[in-house]
Chains A and B, each alone.
Chain A
Amino acid sequence: SQKIEQNSEALNIQEGKTATLTCNYTNYSPAYLQWYRQDPGRGPVFLLLIRENEKEKRKERLKVTFDTTLKQSLFHITASQPADSATYLCALAGNTPLVFGKGTRLSVIA
């Protein structure tokens, strides 16, 4: 069966450093992969999408990589700020509903 793993349930990082979150998957060949941010008690908000034929995508302080050989995506937040503290979810997508990982709860400490 499809499996998505975000290998850190929680990650603490000092303000100004780069946060790196990992998403691994098995038994799936997604057409694209997405990252979402979720704040407590709220629905997820879309951040970035990367397609299977793309290696890297950037948006402001965010960077996503996608390695279909390793079946892995890395999500980076550079110059992290306390406001970046949230849970970040990766999601696999194709022609089916999104399948989400459990998320990584990021805490950026001032």
Chain B
Amino acid sequence: GAVVSQHPSRVICKSGTSVKIECRSLDFQATTMFWYRQFPKKSLMLMATSNEGSKATYEQGVEKDKFLINHASLTLSTLTVTSAHPEDSSFYICSARDPRGGGTEAFFGQGTRLTVV
């Protein structure tokens, strides 16, 4: 199946700093990518939809100035957590749908474990 690669898999940062997470579709082009956040033993919560060449669409309650999304190419979307705080510590996962397969199945990255100290 299609491959979505996410980097880094783990990151520890200090409070107040910014962290960038990359999500790449390796063998297909994705005009749309999705960013999720997952707390321990909880479901994936959609944060935003990343649209290539245009602004991301954020879900209600997600601060767009804190979670900056850039989708500069058809294979790369980035999520930057700005001025990180300990409560931002979580598991962040991106996904994309391969249009070649009808776009129904979602392919997920490996996830990024963010710890803010």
Q: Is B100 at the interface (CB under 8 A from chain A)?
A: no
Chain A 24-46 near chain B by CB (<8 Å), digits 1 or 0: 00000000101010000111111
Chain B residues with CB under 8 A of A103: 43
A32 to B105 Cα, complex, angstroms:
10
| B108→A99 contact, CB < 8 A | no
| A43→B6 contact, CB < 8 A | yes
Chain B residues with CB under 8 A of A36: 106
| B105→A49 contact, CB < 8 A | yes
Counting chain B residues whose Cβ lies within 8 A of the other chain, the interface size class is 20 to 34
A98 to B105 Cα, complex, angstroms:
10
Count of interface residues, chain A, beta-carbon cutoff 8 Å: 22
Chain B residues with CB under 8 A of A49: 104-105
User: Contacting B113 at CB < 8 Å: which of A41, A44, A97, A102?
Assistant: A41
B residues touching A (Cβ–Cβ < 8 Å)? Answer: 1, 4, 6, 34, 41-44, 46, 49, 91, 93, 95, 104-111, 113
Q: List 16 A-B contacts (CB under 8 A).
A: A34-B106, A41-B113, A42-B110, A43-B93, A43-B108, A44-B44, A44-B108, A45-B108, A46-B106, A89-B44, A91-B106, A97-B46, A99-B46, A100-B43, A100-B44, A101-B43
